[in-house]
Amino acid sequence: GAGVSQSPSNKVTEKGKDVELRCDPISGHTALYWYRQRLGQGLEFLIYFQGNSAPDKSGLPSDRFSAERTGESVSTLTIQRTQQEDSAVYLCASSFTGDRGEQFFGPGTRLTVL
Amino acid sequence: AQKVTQAQTEISVVEKEDVTLDCVYETRDTTYYLFWYKQPPSGELVFLIRRNSFDEQNEISGRYSWNFQKSTSSFNFTITASQVVDSAVYFCALTRDSTGTASKLTFGTGTRLQVTL
């Protein structure tokens, strides 16, 4: 009965470096979402995957951000050439498709760009 | 476009006081879902409630209650007899009715609730 897991829990990187954040959704969940939460802010939608459909990338802030998902399992969010404004907590969530939006969230990865 | 507004940035109350967290939303969808999530200091989002746009009945769960008023596009959350463990950031969120498809959540900026002894 594992929930959504994310790794690493914390990541400190230097400006200009690339980072990869990983999300393991709940087994059987067909939809997977990435959100970003800047300090003291609400969650901003980044991207979601649903089965074999094309992902909704409408929330990605720039072309430095990309994400992949292998089948209905693991997803990786990649940020290239990180900037200080990328510092945030990146949250992953998963759900059954069409489950009326009830998403289960992971603990997040706190990214700090120096 | 969808929008959720939580005008109260931070609220401080003394334990046992009642407190209401406001949420106002905007959407062009005729059917949608509203949510409240709790984010304690540990950081993990905890689901509290989901409400369908067709169901305007108020809901009570223990010390928690929710008042959904479609006429004013509001979905307010009341904690009765607050406790220190209620201290957290509370988020209101909105999604369109997504039967058969996934749908992103639009979040408000959150209200930080501090309950002191």
The string of pLDDT tens digits covering residues B15-36 is: 999 999 999 999 998 889 899 9
Q: How far apart (Å, rounded) are the C-alpha atoms in residues A105 and A3? A: 8
Query: Do A92 and A25 meet the contact criterion of CB atoms below 8 Å apart?
Result: yes
Question: What pLDDT sits at residue A100?
Answer: 61
pLDDT in tens, B47-90: 899 888 888 888 888 999 999 999 999 999 999 999 999 999 99
Virtual torsion, Cα A96, B25, B36, A29, nearest 10 deg: 10
Q: Taking an 8 Å Cβ-Cβ cutoff, which residues of chain B contact chain A?
A: 4, 6, 33, 35, 37, 42-45, 47, 50, 52, 91, 93, 95, 97-110
Query: Do B91 and B34 meet the contact criterion of CB atoms below 8 Å apart?
Result: no
Identify the residue whose tokens are 């509203």.
B34
Considering only residues B2 and B11, tell me which one the structure prediction assigns the higher pLDDT. Answer: B11
Q: How far apart (Å, rounded) are the C-alpha atoms in residues A27 and A95? A: 10
* A42 vs B contacts (CB less than 8 Å): 4, 6, 91, 107-110
* Residue A45 touches partner B, C-beta closer than 8 Å: yes
Please name the member of B91, B97, B105 whose beta carbon is closest to the beta carbon of A45: B105
Q: How far apart (Å, rounded) are the C-alpha atoms in residues B87 and B90? A: 9
Give the pLDDT band (50/70/90) at residue B101.
low
